[in-house]
Amino acid sequence: MQLKNTILLAAVVLTTAFGSSLKAQPTCDRLWATENELVAEHAGTVPVTMNDTKGILMPRWSPSGDRIAYAHRLYVNDPSALVIVDNAGRRVQSLQLPADSPVNAVQQLNWRDENHVFIEGHVNPSTTVYLEWDATTGQLVAEKAGSWFAVSPDGRFVAQQAHVPHGAPPPYDSAVLLVNDQRVYPVAGDESYHRFTGGLVWSPSGQLATIDLVGDVTEVVVLTADVSRITRVPLAGVTGARALSWTGGGAVNIQTDRGETWQADVPAGKVHRGQTTARSSETTQTPQEIQRRLHGVPAHAEDSRCRTRAVQ
pLDDT tens, position by position, 132-152: 999 999 999 999 999 999 999
Q: Taking every pair of C-alpha atoms in the chain, what is the biggest distance, in angstroms?
A: 88
Sorted by sequence, the CB contacts under 8 Å of residue 81 that are 6+ apart come out as 71, 72, 74, 95, 96, 97, 103, 106, 119, 131
pLDDT of 280 above 50: no
pLDDT of 283 above 70: no
From residue 195, how far is each of 84, 98, 162, 201, 219 by CA, in Å?
A: 37, 31, 12, 16, 11
pLDDT given at position 282: 44
Question: What is the distance between the alpha carbons of residues 49 and 43, in angstroms, rounded to a whole number?
Answer: 15
Nearest in space to 175 (alpha carbons), one of 202, 211, 222, 125 = 211
Mean local confidence (pLDDT), 156-163:
96
pLDDT of 276 above 60: no
Question: What is the distance between the alpha carbons of residues 278 and 282, in angstroms, rounded to a whole number?
Answer: 12
pLDDT given at position 6: 45
Element (H, E) at 166: none
pLDDT of 22 above 70: no
What residue segments make up the domains of the chain, in order of their start? Answer: 25-151+278-312, 152-276
**Backbone region of residue 58 per phi and psi (left: phi > 0; alpha: psi in -120 to 50; beta: other values):** left
With beta carbons less than 8 A apart as the criterion, state whether 47 and 36 touch.
no
With beta carbons less than 8 A apart as the criterion, state whether 193 and 171 touch.
yes
**For the ranges 43-52, 61-70, 212-221, which has the lowest average pLDDT?**
43-52
pLDDT given at position 4: 45
Strand partners, 49: 39
Per-chain mean pLDDT for the chain: 87
158-162 and 177-179 strand pairing: antiparallel
pLDDT given at position 21: 56
Question: What is the distance between the alpha carbons of residues 212 and 139, in angstroms, rounded to a whole number?
Answer: 36
pLDDT given at position 17: 47
Instruction: Specify the 3-state DSSP secondary structure of 192.
Output: coil
Which of residues 156 and 188 earns the better pLDDT score?
A: 156
Sheet containing strand 37-41, strands side by side: 48-51, 37-41, 23-33, 300-311
**pLDDT one-digit tens code per residue, 160-192:** 999 999 999 999 999 999 999 999 999 988 999
With beta carbons less than 8 A apart as the criterion, state whether 194 and 175 touch.
yes
Identify the band that residue 3 occupies on the pLDDT scale cut at 50, 70 and 90: very low
Question: What is the distance between the alpha carbons of residues 74 and 262, in angstroms, rounded to a whole number?
Answer: 38
Instruction: Specify the 3-state DSSP secondary structure of 102.
Output: coil
pLDDT of 155 above 60: yes
